[in-house]
Structure 1
Amino acid sequence: MTVRLTQASAPLMRSIAVRDEFGAEREVAIPAERALTVFVDKRELVTLMTLGAAPELLVLGYLRNQRLVESVAEIDSVTVDWEVEAAAVATRGGVQRFEEKTAKRVVTTGCGQGTVFGDLMADLDAIRLPPASDPRGRISQATLYGLLDAVRRQESTYKSAGSVHGCALFRQDELLMFVEDVGRHNAIDTIAGWMWLHGVDGADKIFYTTGRLTSEMVIKSAQMGVPIVVSRSGITQMGYELARQLGLALFGRATNRHFLCYTGFERFDAQPEPARPATKE
């Protein structure tokens, strides 16, 4: 079944006048953060703070990662109207146990504080990732370097205005999708929505984020079926423990040709750099 979507992307930046340390006035760009209140079958669910790059995909991914809807086939339409700052989701048969699923909320470490409905750890045992012996679930050092170079060359809001997080989906070092938002959780939800809408399998994919690897990011990556996650930032203890439990390969502090492999060494085909010569004192 086809999901009917508006195409209501909003301007990602706006220009403002500022004064620098010399007292000179100049014009700079800043991210255009805005509120988007999500209604599901006319019931208010949550208000997301977002840039609005792909709001329909954000809403789809949010519903998927919150486990409020099991199949994209259950969604009839997502209609975004920026004049009223609202996204109206119409389902085909209603959300089963809506009140029960949304009764418990966990405030996460997401930028501006994210929210997860229900038990954060529920259904982890049902997640199946490709084994490390499967070529789809492996990454070489050369591929990792190629991926980081692709991110470096990507035109972005961050380069123009800063203050945003970016997430990307790769097949090896081929960039499939790149999205930025004010919070890394919004960016990963948008990618999850795109995968869900188009039936994209995560087994042979690599997920990249500029944000830190928290429990929320690890769980969402696993729910997308993606076995390898790369971050420009670091990792939390809970993110580390969950990645080990789920069998993910996590790479952090990854910039240029530097990285740390925190978990999932068995998925990594290392090609170590030559040892640097000792410096003479």
Structure 2
Amino acid sequence: MLLTEPRHAAFQAPLPRLTAAQAPLTREVRVVNEFGESRDIAIPAERDLTVYVDKRELVTLMTLGAHPEWLVLGYLRNQRLVRSVHDIESITVDWEVGAASVKTRAGIDGIEARTARRVVTTGCGQGSVFGGLMDEIDQIALPPEARLRQSDLYAMLKAIRERDSVYKSAGSVHGCALFRGSELLVFVEDVGRHNAVDTIAGWMWLQDPAAMDGADKAFYTTGRLTSEMVIKSAQMGVPVVVSRSGTTQMGLAVAERVGLCAVGRATHQRFLCFTHPQRLWRDVEPPRPPQAVAPQTTSR
């Protein structure tokens, strides 16, 4: 079963109150190129955000800051510190002091013990998770019948290529997206892929629970499929994850274990399916690359 409260509990409390804090995503800097010429370019505006839960300092996140309230909510979800969005009363972000204040409805049981052990992951900027990476993983059950059409996979890649993004203007960020078939539901960029997936997890919790089950969704990331990325996607109930990059050994092992279809090196109409290929519905046949012709040799 997924690591959330039963659905009948979802209506026992209202959704949390959130601020809508905003900050510039890029800033202009002057650079000098290899010819000694000066010009202005945009770079991502990375900033720190210290999260306080019930006035207790929890963690400092380095983030682009596009949707900080979603990020904090998704971080608490993916760290398994809260079981339901309704456990949170409010999230207040103040960029002037670089802080996010989380108020819960009934506190977090044993928060000191649950956050005592921290694992530094391979996420950009060194992400981290509390507790063991494999804790509770065998409780995750992804729907066995969930599949993704290959044509929808190609449509996903096309939508990402055509989207305006911070990466196109400033580089140095990762992008993540959630799709239902070929429909792009939400797209998030951040300085680390772990932040981007947490932000999407937070967004999902704020939607109508009847419409936001992960079973019919696919997740896209520009970053590699590490164990952290695979576990977080599985915790969100998403059975297919697509990456522009590849996978790691541990990411592959976790995907095999939880029944997640991991697709990597996905660009245009090319990809490699690393795990559970039965989740891909091959409804189209892409053109094959031309065969290399061996050079002709002549005898003398």
Q: TM-score, normalised by structure 2?
A: 0.90
Matched, 1:16 2:10: no
One-letter amino acid matched to 1:217 = M
> Residue 100 of structure 1: CA displacement?
1.3
Q: 1:274 to 1:153 in 2, by over 3 A?
A: closer
3-state SS of paired residue (1:52)? coil
1:25 alignment partner in structure 2: 38
Tell me if structure 1 keeps the 8 A contact 2:78–2:235: yes
Residue of structure 2 in register with 1:37 after alignment: 50
CA offset digits 1:173-214 (Å, max 9, x no partner):
110000000000000000000001223211100000000000
Name the counterpart of 1:261. Answer: 273
Whole-angstrom CA distance in 2 between matches of 1:85 and 1:235: 34
Structure-1 separation of matches of 2:266 and 2:290: 23
Give the deviation of 1:83 after TM superposition.
Answer: 0.7
What CA deviation, in whole Å up to 9, does each residue of 1:52-102 have, x standing for no partner?
A: 000000000000000001111110000000111000000011111111110
Match of 1:223 in 2: 235
The answer to whether residue 264 in structure 2 is matched with residue 252 in structure 1 is yes
* Range 103-112 or range 264-273, more displaced: 264-273
Q: In structure 2, what is the equivalent of residue 242 of structure 1?
A: 254
TM-score after normalising by structure 1: 0.96
User: Which whole-Å CA distance do the structure 2 matches of 1:276 and 1:209 have between them?
Assistant: 25
Aligned to 1:157: 166
Residue 106 of structure 2 is aligned to residue 97 of structure 1: no
Contact 2:17 2:91 in 1 (8 A): yes
The SS at the match of 1:263 is coil
- Decide which of 195, 217, 220 is 1:186's aligned counterpart: 195
- The one-letter amino acid paired with 2:274 is Y
Report which stretch shifted further, 53-62 or 114-123: 114-123
Task: Determine the C-alpha separation between the residues in 1 that align with 2:149 and 2:125.
Answer: 35
Secondary structure in structure 2 of the residue aligned to 1:21? coil
Residue 274 of structure 1 and its aligned partner are, at CA, apart by 4.3
Cα distance, 1:275–1:53 mapped onto 2, change above 3 Å:
closer
Which residue in the other structure is 2:82 paired with? 69
Which residue of structure 2 aligns with residue 272 of structure 1?
Answer: 285
1:174 to 183, 186, 189: 183
Return the offset for 1:117: 0.4
% identity of equivalent residues: 66
Give the direction of change, closer, same or farther, for the CA distance of 1:255–1:69 in structure 2 (3 Å limit): same
> Does structure 1 residue 233 correspond to structure 2 residue 242?
no
Match for 1:238: what amino acid? M
d(CA) in 1 for partners of 2:155, 2:15: 35
- Cα distance in 1 for residues equivalent to 2:56 and 2:290: 64
- Indicate conservation of the 8 Å contact 2:89/2:103, yes or no: yes
Pairwise CA RMSD of aligned residues? 1.0
User: What is the CA–CA distance in structure 2 between the aligned matches of 1:45 and 1:185, rounded to whole Å?
Assistant: 17
Unaligned runs of 5+ in 2: 1-13, 296-300
Single out whichever of 1-10 and 34-43 deviates more from structure 2: 1-10
Letter in 2 for 1:225: G
How many angstroms apart in 2 are the aligned matches of 1:226 and 1:265?
15
Amino acid at match of 1:176: L
Structure 1 unaligned spans of 5+: none
Amino acid at match of 1:6: T
Following superposition, the deviation at residue 278 of structure 1 comes to 3.1
Q: Which amino acid aligns with 2:38?
A: E
Which residue does the alignment assign to 2:133? 120
Whole-angstrom distance in 2 between the partners of 1:277 and 1:70: 52
Following TM superposition, by how much is the alpha carbon of 1:130 offset from its aligned partner in structure 2, in angstroms?
1.0
**Distance of 1:234 and 1:276 partners within structure 2:** 21
**How many Å separate the matches in 1 of 2:184 and 2:143?**
21
Which has the greater radius of gyration?
Answer: 2
Structure 1 counterpart SS, 2:274:
strand
Distance in 2 of aligned mates of 1:93 and 1:139: 40
Residue 147 (structure 1) aligned with residue 120 (structure 2): no
